């Protein structure tokens, strides 16, 4: 027999080793108490183990591309102000906002919020948010609310009006 080693006489489990692999009948007491694991569940025993919880997410976060904030020139600021003025007229109050249902796409700057990233506090990403304008606060907060998301005027770089559907 290939690979057979004699069992030392003082070996504690020599009798178990000599008996070999146990076999159980379907209705045997052991088989009833300890049913065989289905093959579908056995696969999870061999699934990869994530020893460093969150490491993969941290690496993916580092791969996100962040850019510097764009400063708009005077002409772009004037065009943006005129678009905001049009929106203010269309959405004076909540009743006008419901009646007019102005749909826009707003391109705005979102700063990096990951404290572990080099871009935190100095760079971010430009995101498009589209939806119906529900409020404009030009007096106190200086924000535009689109699809439930409040966007600061200072972060907006472009507003595009969507055609009526």
150 within 8 A of 143, measured Cβ to Cβ:
yes
Average pLDDT, the chain: 83
Cα–Cα distance between 135 and 44 in angstroms, integer? 50
Report pTM.
0.60
Strand ranges for 7-142 from DSSP E: 103-111, 124-137
pLDDT at 74: 95
- pLDDT tens digits, 42-56: 777 776 766 777 787
- pLDDT tens digits, 29-41: 887 788 777 877 7
Cα–Cα distance between 85 and 79 in angstroms, integer? 10
pLDDT at 1: 44
Cα–Cα distance between 91 and 89 in angstroms, integer? 6
């Amino acid at each position: 027999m290939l690979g057979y080693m004699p069992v030392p006489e003082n070996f504690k489990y020599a009798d178990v080793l000599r008996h070999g692999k146990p076999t159980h009948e379907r209705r045997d007491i052991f088989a009833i108490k300890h049913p065989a694991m289905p093959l579908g569940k056995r696969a999870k025993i061999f699934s990869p183990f994530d020893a460093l919880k969150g490491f993969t997410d941290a690496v993916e976060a580092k791969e996100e591309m962040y850019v510097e904030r764009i400063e708009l020139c005077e002409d772009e600021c004037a065009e943006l102000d005129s678009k905001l003025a049009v929106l203010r007229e269309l959405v004076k109050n909540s009743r006008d906002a419901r009646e007019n249902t102005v749909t826009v796409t707003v391109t705005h700057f979102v700063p990096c919020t990951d404290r572990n990233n080099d871009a935190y506090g100095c760079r971010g990403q430009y995101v498009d948010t589209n939806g119906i304008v529900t409020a404009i606060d030009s007096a106190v907060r200086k924000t535009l609310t689109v699809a439930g998301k409040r966007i600061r005027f200072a972060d907006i770089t472009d507003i595009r009006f969507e055609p009526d559907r």
